Each structure stands twice: as C-alpha cells, then as structure tokens.
Chains A and B, each alone.
Chain A
Amino acid sequence: MAERVAVVSVAQTKYHQNRGDVREAELAYEAIEQVLQETGLKFVEDGTGIDATVSCSHDHWDGQTISDIKIGDVAGAHLRPEEKVAEDGTHAVYYAMLQILSGHHDVVLVVSHMKESQTVRSMIENAAFDPVYQRLIGLDFLTAAALQARRYMYKYGITEEQCAKVVVKNRKNAQNNPYAQAPMGLTVEDVLRSPMLSSPIRQLDAKPVSDGACAMILAKEEKAKRLSDKPAWIKGAGSCYDAFYLGDRDLADCQSLMLAAKQAYDMAGIGDPRKEIDLAEVSEYYSYQELLWMEGLGFCDRGEGGKLIDSGVTQMGGRLPLNPSGGLLSGRPFAVGGMAAVAEAVLQLRGEAGARQLPDVSTALAHGVTGPCGQLQCVLVLGKD
C-alpha cells in the first residue's frame, strides 16, 4: 500500500452513568475540543486543516432520525463533509482510514457519542431482531449473549469463575484509568454473588449503563509526521459480518472475528499474534466475551480462553495484557466503546497511559463489536513505526 495512516490525537470524556448536564453535541465537543487543541488543527479550506468528519452514533439511541444532525455543528460540518457510520466506533475509525487511503482526504476527524442513560437498552436492542420471527419472544443483546455464554461454557467447559475473573481484572485495571466510569476492587465471589440478569450472566458480568464521547484525528503519513511526534500507525485493519440468525452459527465460535483478525494480521504482517501483540483492548460487553474474543483473535487455541485468564497472561504485567483501561465492563457506552479501545491503544503506544502504562509497547490491538453475539467484528492493529 502506498499511503500510511496514523492516529495523531485522541481524546475521551470521562465515562459516566448519566450525563444529564449536557446535550449530545456538548458531550461530543468535550472530546473534539481536546483533539483540536492538541493538534492545533482547524476546520479550514486551504488544505492545512481537517478535511472531513466521520461520526458514529445511532438514530435509535438518540431518538432522532439522522442523529448526526445533532453533532454536525460541533464537528465542523458546516460547508464541509461529514458522514455517519452507524456501527461501533471502530468501524468509524476504519472508514476514516479508508478515506485517507483512497486519497480523497488527508486529515479526518472521527467522533462518536452515546448517552445510554437517556433511553432503554433492551427495547432498542429488541428492535435489531427479525420483526416476524424473533422480536416477540423478547430477545435483546443481553438474552442473546446469555445464549452465547451458555453455549460457549458448555462446549469448552468454561466456568463462571473464569468469567468472573475477567470482571475482577478489568475493574481493577480501571482503577488506574482516570476516564473509567466504575473502577472497583472486586473478588470473584463478589461477581458470583451479584444478581442474576439472564443466566449465566450476572449484573457484574455485564457492562454498566454509560454516557460518553471519544474523538480522534487520523492523518496520512506526510501530515501525520508533522502533526505529532508520536503518531500511532494503523498497520492492519479487518472487518467481518457473521450470520444473523443465532441458530445459523455455532455461538461458541466466532468465525467473523477470526476472519477480521486474519485480515488485520495479514495487512500488518503479523505471523504470530501471541508474540507480536503487546496489548489488546477488546470490547467485552459481557465477561465471557473477553475469553471468547481472545480465542477469535488467536491469543490462545479454541476453547482455551478460560485457561488463559487462569494463567494470568492477560493481567497487567502478564505477557499479553488485555484491557489495561478497564474495558467496557468498567463502563463505556456502545458506539464509543470501540473508539475508546483505539484511544487506549494509542495512549499506550505513545507512553501516555499514566499509572496503567505498560513497558515497551510497540504493537497494540483494538477491537470493536456491533450487533447481537458479536455479529460484526472489527480489528485494528496499531504500531509505533
């Protein structure tokens, strides 16, 4: 590939259970303002500023048709381009990267916002299912995830304790992340004693309701080097859909993630992710997903996710720390979640992750998920050089 693309600036709001004090645009601008200040970029026409905006939000969550209407004004859209990716934020980053690779734009602002607190998650997620076959049985992404968790645990002998360990690890990691919503010192027993939501998923196995925004600036190589001393290069990118009907796939597998990871690894020239990736930020809406996604990403063999968490490899200080930021389980909204994963990867690569900074990070992976049971997967590999 001729052109290379880097993330030159990232910013997040602190994630919070209810940002009733701000409109969506104001929330988004908290993050946008920081990346504008860090880079000194402006929305100008002379080719020295930001060329385009890619936003990420959802009409259903915003209760507004064409939800990007709300944030265009603060995202520099007036008399300029803006397009909205209606997936998790990793795909917005992915699309911005393609815009630069296509030669159409040099510098792109990406912004995602979400206020989960303003409506009811289960009602929105129910609307993702086939209206005739599935909706009336009351499925949402939680109950669908419970089916997936049960199948995964049954097929590979994964235990509730192993899932609980993910929660304990991520909530603990969050204690060193000033943006995290709900850092907490927990024990496996605390998780196992928390109320059951949809068996086998308990309250602490699930991501809390969260509001927040994330913004970043991507640039082509020549401009990236001028805009930042520490550009984080997007070395690999992958994206893949799985089957929609839950019965059309073995929920204990994650074929779409394996394919998305393969695309990203091939593009980045990664032969053995277990050796070549220094850390990963994965989107675990539910605790079992971190184990399952580790398998899909090739960090362990199929069915070995439980053993990997037992071994301590994915803890801070382990060989392959997972979710040093605290992950989604520590509170991040959908749509923003995957972008926050990219942001953490960038901060770690730049050595700006504060108390949670890992030593010698040269390659980091960020992962995002959209849809029920991880139907649409996105994998981004970022590197220092």
Chain B
Amino acid sequence: MTEKAGEEFLVMPIPLELPFQWAAGSYHGRTLREIKDNNRFVGIRCPQCKSILFPAAMVCPLCHVKVGEDWVELGEKGTVEDFAIVEMSVLDPSTGKERVESQPQAVIRLDGGAVMEHRLEEKDPQKLRVGMRVEAVFKPEGEGGKGDLTDILYFRTIEK
C-alpha cells in the first residue's frame, strides 16, 4: 500500500441531502401533540408489565403486547439523574453545521416516573448536581411550537 500525500489524489466533494416526511403515528404523535398543544408530557402504560413508554409506542417491547389506551401524565417537573457539560463542538442534526452545545445536557426523571433527555438552563458547574429539582420551560405561546422536543427551551432549577 502506498501512503502518499492526500493532495495527489482526486477527492470529489458531493453533498448529499435527502428530504423526508416522517409520520409520527397515533401513539408517538399523541405524545408530541400534547407537548405542542398543552405543554405537558404524556406516556402510555403497558397493561401487562405496567412499564411506561415515553414517548408512547404501540407495542411494549418487553411483553410484546399492544399497549391500549392507558395514557399517563408524567408532570413537567423532575429530578436530574445525570448531567454533562459538552466541551467538544458537535454537529447540528437540523443544519449539518458545527455548533457549540452551550447548555448542559441532562437525564431527567420526571415525577411521573419516565425519563427524558434535555438541556438545563443552569450553566454554572458549581450549581449542577445529581438529584437537583428542575421543571420544563416551554417556548412562549406564539413562538411557533413545532410539536417536538425543541418546543421545550430547557429545564430550569426549581430549588436548591
């Protein structure tokens, strides 16, 4: 194998973009619609193992049964189970460009039992801890909620 300087070889840049129209379906779609219309988080409970699927899905992967209609409100408050300060630049999936992830990412267990990943408002590492209480802050009305997790600006600290 020859290992020569890269400039000697032709490299063709071909950007590839593919447009998609993804259907959310009735279960995942309801979770998204509740975020958009009512600023609340809802999951669905498996009739067999009582696990909560959040976002909702049609079939419980653990029991292989259809979940039915046992919708569960999870609340907009929760506890931070884990957080991370991202010190590398990351690729923005919506633009394909580099971006700085300026807010800490966190795993938040909502009071209703389910877990979601989102960003924290608090950037000061000294003030971040596992177990801190947070609540979701939604985009103000009229600022174009899309019915996805970007309708939530971040989770803000609600107590010491």
Contact = CB atoms under 8 A, between A and B. Distances in A.
Q: Do A and B come from one complex?
A: yes
Interface of A: 19-23, 25-26, 29, 33, 42-43, 60, 63, 72-74, 76-78, 115, 117-120, 123-124, 127, 131-132, 135-136
B56 to A, nearest CB: 11
A118 B59 contact: no
Contacts of B28: 23
Chain B binding surface SS class: loop
Contacts of A72: 61
A63 B20 contact: yes
B12 interface: yes
Contacts of B61: 72-74, 77-78
Contacts of A74: 58-59, 61
A25 B59 contact: yes
Contacts of A73: 57, 59, 61
B64 interface: yes
Given A26-B58, A78-B62, A127 B16 contact: yes
Contacts of B66: 33
Contacts of A117: 21
Interface string B22-45: 111111100000000000000000
Contacts of B26: 21-22, 26
Contacts of A120: 18-19
Nearest to B62: A78
B21 A43 contact: no
Contacts of A77: 61
A21 B23 contact: yes
B14 interface: yes
B46 to A, nearest CB: 12
A118 B20 contact: yes
Contacts of A118: 20-23
Given A123-B18, A135-B14, 9 more contacts: A22-B25, A23-B23, A29-B59, A33-B66, A43-B64, A120-B19, A123-B17, A131-B12, A136-B14
B17 to A, nearest CB: 8
A159 B62 CA distance: 56
Nearest to A115: B23
B59 to A, nearest CB: 5
Contacts of A136: 14
Interface string B121-156: 000000000000000000000000000000000000
Contact of A23 (B10, B12, B25, B64): B25
Contact of A26 (B17, B22, B27, B62): B27
Given A25-B57, A29-B59, A74-B59, A119 B20 contact: yes
A117 B21 CA distance: 8
15 contacts: A21-B26, A22-B25, A23-B22, A26-B27, A43-B64, A63-B20, A78-B61, A78-B62, A117-B21, A120-B18, A120-B19, A127-B16, A131-B12, A132-B10, A136-B14
A99 to B, nearest CB: 20
A123 B17 CA distance: 8
Q: Which 3 A-B pairs have the closest CB atoms?
A: A73-B61, A23-B25, A63-B20
A132 B33 CA distance: 44
A25 B61 CA distance: 11
A245 to B, nearest CB: 18
Contacts of B59: 25, 29, 73-74
Nearest to A30: B58
Nearest to B29: A23
Contacts of B23: 19-23, 115, 118
Interface in B49-88: 57-59, 61-62, 64, 66
B21 A29 contact: no
A112 B104 CA distance: 39
Nearest to A36: B64
B18 A131 contact: no
A124 B18 contact: yes
A120 B20 CA distance: 8
A136 to B, nearest CB: 8
